[in-house]
Amino acid sequence: MPTSTELPKSGPAVVAHAAGDLRIDTVSLGTPEQDEAVIEVAFGGICGSDLHYWMHGAAGESILRAPLVLGHEISGVVVRAAADGSGPAAGSPVTVHPATPGPGMERYPVDRPNLSPGCTYLGSAARFPHKDGAFSRYVKLPTRMLRVLPENVDLRTAALIEPASVAWHAISRAGDVKGKTALVIGCGPIGALVVAVLRRAGAGRIIAVDMHAKPLEIATALGADEVITAADVDAIDAVEADVVIESSGNHHGLASAIRGAARGGTVVMVGLLPTGAQPVLISLAITRELQLVGSFRFNDEIDEVIAALADGTLHVGPVITHQFALADAIEAFEVARNSAESGKVLLDFSGAATS
């Protein structure tokens, strides 16, 4: 770890230039603001949005208009504390809350800053200029984003804290799930973490659905009681779940979620469907009086996730399936796009690679 006088002026970073154009560029660290600490990044998890920027040049409504440093699921160590004295001291292991709520013309509930129209997010092209992410060897971040890790939460596991917070928020949108039948549609990393959070929250029966065997294997390891292949429409229809979490991010998954919900049930939509009009079984949702609930990012749930990891009540390890060195980031993205064979793929910024 460098001392504060040895910080580099630049370092390698994973940058999306356009659809299909992913590079490892040298980017400038820049001069930290008074409230910014410098983090030596340890691990970064490749998110679905990172994949979309690389593959399609867009993630939902966010269109890539300039090169963007990707990454918002990270852990690391503070190597220079903020000059204003705020935040953790040098040497502290941290994870990151990537959001910066902001003002805007539209109204939103003040207790839900994730909905603030001016909100920015690390590694997001939602606004222009874009907000660079943290897939860099060194990154400067405002101390309000940093969360110090308890001693028994390691840096590798901490790379899952951000997506686990997304899952935690989705379950909170469903209300009390204790003792209820829960159906999870799509068991990529977010869906798998939803299973883990449902298990911790006391769901009575958890059924996981996916197209591929590997995600269902991971879901079982995290606490799913039963698994169903996505093609088995009759089995999904027969579930009659009190709560359904749709995390596949496509209209076929949303149709399965509506069909698999019990009358009067709740469907939480956490998977981000493509922009534009989408076919929806809305008549069935109406006649069953289903509650269709959106779920977007998270707020302070990150602190609850950290506490649950520290006390051992949240089990997330099986989500990680691959790990690559930063130099092999393009290969890592290729593996991460193959949902049939991978769960969460990590970048190891210290250089080690395992799989």
How does pLDDT run across 229-270, given as a tens digit for each residue?
Answer: 999 999 999 999 999 999 999 999 999 999 999 999 999 999
Question: 305-324: per-residue pLDDT in tens?
Answer: 999 999 999 999 999 999 99
Res. 292: pLDDT tops 90 = yes
Which ranges of the chain does DSSP label H, i.e. alpha helix? 48-56, 155-158, 161-174, 189-201, 213-221, 233-237, 251-260, 282-287, 301-310, 329-337
- pLDDT at residue 192 is higher than 80: yes
Checking if the pLDDT of 118 tops 90, the result is: no
In this structure, the number of other CB atoms found within 10 A of the CB of residue 261 comes to: 27
Q: At residue 187, what are phi and psi to the nearest 5 degrees?
A: -120, 40
**223 Ramachandran zone, left/alpha/beta (phi>0; psi -120 to 50):** left
Contact 182, 241 (CB under 8 A): yes
8 Å CB contact between 206 and 193 = no
Decide if pLDDT at 105 tops 80.
no
Stretch among 145-149, 228-232, 276-280, 294-298 having the lowest mean pLDDT: 276-280
pLDDT of amino acid 354: 41
Tell me what the pLDDT averaged over the chain comes to.
94
Residue 237, pLDDT score: 97
| Residue-level pLDDT at 355 | 38
Cα 246 to Cα 252: distance, rounded to the nearest angstrom: 10
Q: Give the whole-angstrom CA distance, residue 215 versus residue 115.
A: 30
Quote the tokens at residue 274.
């493509």
pLDDT of residue 352: 44
- Looking at residue 5, what is its pLDDT? 53
Report whether 30 contacts 139 (CB < 8 A): no
Query: 61 falls in which pLDDT band (50, 70, 90)?
Result: confident
Q: Find residue 14's DSSP bridge partners.
A: 24
Task: Say how far apart CA 4 and CA 38 lie, in whole Å.
Answer: 9
Q: What pTM value is reported for the model?
A: 0.94
